[in-house]
A and B are shown apart, each in its own frame.
Chain A
Amino acid sequence: NAGVMQNPRHLVRRRGQEARLRCSPVKGHSHVYWYRQLPEEGLKFMVYLQKENIIDESGMPKERFSAEFPKEGPSILRIQQVVRGDSAAYFCASSPSAQGADTEAFFGQGTRLTVV
Chain B
Amino acid sequence: KQEVTQIPAALSVPEGENLVLNCSFTDSAIYNLQWFRQDPGKGLTSLLLIQSSQREQTSGRLNASLDKSSGRSTLYIAASQPGDSATYLCAPDSGGYNKLIFGAGTRLAVHP
- B103 with A56: CB separation less than 8 A: no
Query: Of A64-72, A78-86, A103-111, which stretch is located at the interface?
Result: A103-111
CB A12 to nearest CB in B, in angstroms, measures 16
Residue from the list A31, A101, A108, A109 in contact with B98, Cβ < 8 A:
A31
Interface centre among B34, B89, B97 (most CB of A within 10 A): B97
Residue from the list A35, A42, A45, A110 in contact with B105, Cβ < 8 A:
A42
| Whole-angstrom CA separation of A52 from B51 in the bound complex | 28
- B103 with A42: CB separation less than 8 A: yes
Chain B 44-55, CB within 8 Å of chain A: the 1/0 string?
111001010000
Residue from the list B46, B95, B96, B104 in contact with A106, Cβ < 8 A:
B46
Residue of B with least CB distance to A110:
B43
Residue of A with least CB distance to B4:
A42
- Asked if B109 is at the interface of the complex by the 8 Å CB criterion, the answer is no
Given the known inter-chain contacts A31-B98, A109-B42, please indicate yes or no for A103 contacting B49, CB distance below 8 A.
yes
Chain A 96-116, CB within 8 Å of chain B: the 1/0 string?
001101011111111010000
- A56 with B44: CB separation less than 8 A: no
- A104 with B46: CB separation less than 8 A: yes
19 A-B residue pairings within 8 Å (CB atoms): A31-B97, A33-B100, A45-B100, A45-B101, A56-B99, A98-B98, A99-B31, A99-B97, A103-B31, A103-B49, A103-B97, A105-B98, A105-B100, A106-B46, A107-B43, A108-B43, A109-B42, A109-B43, A110-B42
19 further A-B pairs in the complex, CB-CB below 8 A; given A105-B46, A105-B98:
A6-B43, A31-B97, A33-B98, A33-B99, A35-B102, A42-B104, A43-B100, A45-B101, A48-B98, A56-B95, A91-B44, A95-B98, A98-B97, A99-B31, A99-B96, A104-B49, A106-B46, A107-B43, A108-B43
